[in-house]
Amino acid sequence: MMKKHSSMIQASVGVLGALNSEKINALEVVESLQKMILQSIAAENGTNEAIQHLIAAVLERRDRGLSVDSVFVLLVFLYSLIGRQFQVDQYLEKGLKDVVLEMMTEEVTKDHSSVIVNRVKEDSNVADFVNKFFVRLEALKNCRQHMEKYVNVARNHGSASPLEYEGILSQVLYDVVDVTRPDIPDLKYKANISLRNNLASRFTMILNSSKPHVMDNDVILVFVIGGITGHEIKQINNIFRIYGKRVIIGSTTLLSPAQVLDNLFLQDPLRPFSL
């Protein structure tokens, strides 16, 4: 009997563990601030109010129960959300940068569980870290500019409704399963051409210009380089289950917010592999 309902038992244990966690209040604070950011940007069709909310959140972080890492998570959320779709006022951005610098200058004098604070302690240059942090945030805003279709992750339904966040992964997958089979210019197709039948395969490709579609396969492999979240795994399964497709999901790591911060700001993503 237990084996039959093992998945339900696992889910129940996970939910109970989450509800009893000491971090649940902090997560609720972050979630409420994310919703406020989405509502503010949609209401004014800009980022001024959202940045002002973030400045206030940094200054009142102790009263709100907001950790240093949570502040950085919110900054990453804002800048990755707006991309090049919305502009940032330089004066307000400087104010945001100043309060982050003030926060870090104060926090490095204390004992901390924050990976970011401890790393800054090692480097002993708070101002340099904050400057580099905002340079990375600017790069994060522009990281989708090379894409043809999936440039934005924020859907604006008007000032009466908050922005709707839809990540690149979900946008691509919904286009893949779309029965109208829209063109997906950012999804590249590579023919499986072996050396043995190289000439014949190339000749066939010239005669047949149509490309095979992902949904023509019974089994679909989705591999995400850089990391995947638990929510994204669930989303992928749900999308393909509707269409009766078996999906195999892989990634380089299972991501947490702390790992995202580490990858973006503590590691060097441009550093080449050493062989």
Residue-level pLDDT, tens digit, the chain, 275 residues: 666 667 777 777 766 766 666 667 778 888 999 999 999 999 999 999 999 999 999 999 999 889 899 999 999 999 999 998 999 999 999 999 999 999 999 988 887 778 788 878 777 689 998 998 999 999 989 988 889 999 999 988 888 889 989 999 999 999 999 988 888 888 887 766 554 555 555 555 555 556 778 898 889 999 998 889 988 999 999 999 988 889 999 999 888 877 888 877 777 654 443 33
How far is the C-alpha of 215 from the C-alpha of 219, rounded, in Å? Answer: 9
Q: Where are the domains of the chain?
A: 21-154, 184-259
Q: What's the start-to-end Cα distance of the chain, in Å? A: 52
Q: Are strands 219-224 and 164-165 parallel, antiparallel or unpaired?
A: unpaired
CB 239 within 8 A of CB 177: yes
Tokens for 67? 């950790």
> Has this prediction a pTM greater than 0.85?
no
Tokens matching residue 184: 């997906």
Instruction: Please say whether the beta carbons of 49 and 96 come within 8 A.
Output: no
Instruction: Give the closest residue to 83 by CA, choosing from 25, 147, 130, 29.
Output: 147
Angle between helix axes 115-123 and 126-141 (nearest 10 degrees) is: 130
Hey, what are 165's tokens?
């966040």
